[in-house]
Amino acid sequence: MLPRDKTSNGHTAESAALSGAAVAPIVRYDRGARVEALDLVAAEESVLIEVEVGSGPPVEMGVTMRTPGADRELAVGMLVAEGIIEQPSDVVDVETGSRSCGSRAASAIVVRLRPGLSLTQQDVGARVLRSAACGVCGARSVDVAADHLAAIEERGLTVPADTLCAMPDVLRQTQLLFGHTGGLHAAALFRPDGRLVRVCEDIGRHNAVDKLIGAALMNGDELRDSVLFLSGRAGFELIYKAAVVHIPVVASIGAPSSLAVDLASRQRITLAGFVRQTGLNVYSMSDRIVGGRDT
């Protein structure tokens, strides 16, 4: 769905106060008319994430392109989802600010871990997955990446197919920044009965999931009996993140990749794709999706 028309300068300027959006002057052609206006676009900025342990030198997690906002949740979620830490209590402090980068300042997030933990730059290179969205080849193979993951525990959770099919509309109604910019991914946490717990948006789909995981863990949300719903496609790295925090059901509006299906099957995660009001496809662990009639 396209973002709603924003030719009103007043409306756009008011909406610019939204975190994660920026104002851009545009020329719009509409039904043969040429109109100068202001539009909202999704904000995209780079941020360096560093981890400090004790008195040792900072360890760089790397630079990611993200939508500003929820930086603490992004950092904590990334560290948990990549297996660097086990829970938010491993984090002593998260500092956000800027670093000098030549003649300009760059955003930075510094995460300080509790004493007793250890982390080196070599650890990060060996353990951190690189998203396909970044166009960077991973430092490890898929098999090695998933070797340490435990399969999802069977807890008798089921989700009605009709409930999953209603989630895209629920998600769309809560995507405030997408409604103004049309340029953001979303990740949402739902209960099996369809109740929405929280939504995070970002210009990067993997960042949106990291923000959601970080916010959920920091707020004590239950993840083992929940549904992760994605506004776009379901790639390997997103299923991997769900597996790390034991989310049993992942559903997406878009398509899954072959590696995502393989990993979901291996970890006993229910993976659904092409979720619409009218139906969906289930690629693994279909017994958790109930309802419908056989034909």
Distance CA 256, CA 254 (A): 7
Both tokens of 68, joined, read: 């500003």
Neighbours of 187 (CB within 10 A): 31
Kindly calculate the radius of gyration of the chain based on its CA atoms and give it in whole angstroms. 20
Residues in Cβ contact with 228 at an 8 Å cutoff, skipping those fewer than 6 apart:
187, 188, 189, 209, 212, 238, 242, 247, 249, 250, 251
Contact 65, 44 (CB under 8 A): yes
136: alpha, beta or left? (left if phi > 0; alpha if psi -120 to 50): beta
Report the distance separating Cα 186 and Cα 177, nearest Å. 10
What residues act catalytically?
134
Give, rounded to a whole angstrom, the gap between the first and last alpha carbons of the chain.
Answer: 32
Tell me the CA distances in angstroms from 80 to 136, 154, 213, 241, one per residue in order. Answer: 21, 22, 8, 8
